[in-house]
Amino acid sequence: MGHYQANVRDIEFTLFEVFGRGEILGTGIYEDLDVEAAKDILGEIARLAENELAESLVDSDRNPPVYDPAAKTVVIPESFKKSYRAYLDGEWGKLDTPVELGGMQVPPSLRWAVAEMVCGANPAIHMYGATFSFAKLLWFLGNDEQKKLAKLIIDNAWHTTMVLTEPDAGSDVGAGRTKAVQQPDGTWHITGVKRFITSGESDMCDNIVHFVLARPEGAGVGTKGLSLFIVPKYHVDLETGALGERNGVYATNVEKKMGLKVSTTCELTFGDGAPAVGTLLGDVHDGIAQMFYIIEGARMFVGTKAIATLSAGYLNALAYAKERVQGADLTTPSKDAPRVTITHHPDVRRSLMLQKAYAEGLRALVLFTAMQQDAVALATDGDPTRHPEKGSPADLAARMSDLLLPIVKGLGSERAWVLLGTESLQTFGGSGFLQEYPIEQYVRDAKIDTLYEGTTAIQGLDFFFRKIVKDHGQSMTALSMQIQQFAKDLGTNAGALDTEREMLGKALENVQGIVGFMAGAAFQSDPRTGGDLRNLYKVAQNTTRLLLGAGDLVVGWLLLRQAEVALAALEAGAAPKDEPFYQGKVAAARFFTRQVLPRLAAERAMAEATDNSLMDVPEAAF
């Protein structure tokens, strides 16, 4: 068994006891999947993750991929190839494959629960495995010829890539300069350089299909002028699947990174010396909208990866703390007092409970977000490119998922990274700094999560301006009403959580206060009503604060929902083997409510004290 331990008990509790996912199984598009089958899937992937997938995590970090600059090829370590092959042999890609191509129709909540365990064991496996979700998008968005390519991608497990970032443009996607020129035969020649391209080169498959944002010759500036092109590493006979000549796209560098080394992060050069030939996705110039299907999935993945690593870090720290004997109990200070395991020490308990609360609360956040995606999938027959009927419950669920995505990505990555370094690693003392334990690699591998798919600052801007203001606060109001109703529901469980419900209500008021201040500053920035544009600076100084504060609020609410279910189970006479689990859920919720949520009052005070003096500091003074 490797470094990883799956928390299947908590995953099943959250899916079925708290969120009632069993209610949607066996019906509609999920008629072939019942609760027992879903639990079998979770059990099988847990076994695989803890063993074959986890086995190569350390070796593939110590012996990373080797890039040959002359051949522009990469050799992946054999240990990782073995793990990845085990994933493919288990046919887990079917969970992301269109049913028309032999895939399995599963709700997003179950799919993301599976993804958590894969990411916790060895995140690069899930990243190379994006093959199947990209092919699914190509199947739904592509023209007839591209649908044939989608089938070949799935049948051959060819890698796929999201080719977005450029060296000069960075997160300013609209500034991209990669160019596309249409040819007489209808294909396009792509020229330019892209950077930070995940899975851009490897020797684990015989072809790679790139999804490339480029600007057609003569198109306008900004993101609206971008189109999405499908560019294979090797040309393909779409009727036979036979590979043809090499296309003009090459990995001209593989980045040397602080972590997640086995995932090849490449510089790709298109059209240097030979044409890079591509086809326009779906024969329509709608690149940024098409790419956002990929981006949204990628942001969900990053948050899931982050919380999976935090869960693994916490469970490793917990196991160590239960075995590590050091010092006497604080209440027996005599020199000859018996030594105790460090779980007896108050600050270690504080640290472990903080890790537990966030690991399980963030897991609930991911699955609650996926639960919204379940509703959308049911309303659209599983077509990821269809939007539910406007004004329908599924439409609200889609908006809710959009609202929560930057929280999943931003809060998940930030809290996981900080807790892994300051709490999980710290539990081991000096030993945590050694490669003898996996935590130091977790810390290095997890740092990228705050940067991937838009930094935390970008997530904060997206959360306020696009997911709240542009949505006219509809989804935020709906979420707030759910939290408020829970906070007011005093007397439930014989009032056992009444204090926590009241504290949750105060936390909600504080987050609403931050939103109110920012909305006021935004309104006062409109020149049409006599406002000063500089007031936007006050908004932008608080977007990250709001994102993380709102995220903590939602996590606190979800932990309390779990505690409510756990208390009911205890009151009903839970089996002795289950009592500690349910007691832990109540303890985590109470701890988080009392130790984390009160900080939101200070965050609100800081937001409301914001002025523009920071923006007046001369650059030379920094």
Please give the positions annotated as active site. Answer: 453
SS3 414: helix
Q: Contact, 72 vs 250, CB < 8 A?
A: yes
Bridge partners (DSSP) of residue 67 are 74
- Measured CA to CA, the distance from residue 402 to residue 195 in angstroms comes to 27
Among residues 104, 160, 55, the alpha carbon closest in space to that of 114 is found at 104
Bridge pairing between strands 66-68 and 179-182: unpaired
How far are the Cα atoms of 102, 187, 197, 298 from residue 211, in angstroms, in the given order?
A: 23, 15, 10, 14
| Pair 315, 7: CB distance under 8 Å | yes
The DSSP bridge partners found for residue 276 are 190
Question: At a CB cut-off of 8 Å and minimum separation 6, what does 189 contact?
Answer: 180, 181, 183, 271, 275, 276, 277, 278
Which pairs from 12-16 meet CB under 8 Å and 24+ separation?
12/39, 12/42, 13/562, 13/565, 13/581, 13/585, 14/360, 14/363, 14/364, 14/367, 14/562, 15/109, 15/110, 15/113, 15/367
Position 571, amino acid? E
Q: What is the dihedral of CA 183, 186, 187, 189, to 10 degrees?
A: 20
Burial of 488 (0-12, 13-18, 19+ CB in 10 A): exposed
Query: Three-state SS across 270-295?
Result: ECCCCCEEEEEHHHCCCHHHHHHHHH
Which tokens belong to 484?
């408020």
Specify the residue for token string 């494959």. Answer: 97
468: three-class secondary structure by DSSP: helix
Tell me how far apart the alpha carbons of residues 13 and 565 are, in angstroms, rounded to a whole number.
9
Q: How far apart are CA 226 and CA 295, in angstroms?
A: 15
The answer for residues whose C-beta is within 8 angstroms of residue 568's C-beta and 6 or more apart is: 493
Element (DSSP H or E) covering residue 244? strand 243-246
SS3 annotation, 126-188: HHHCCHHHHHHHHHHHCCHHHHHHHHHHHHHCCEEEEECCCCCCCCCHHHCCCEEEECCCCCE
Contact 313, 436 (CB under 8 A): no
The 10 Å CB-count burial string (b at 16+, else e) for 306-322 is: bbbbbbbbbbbbbebbe
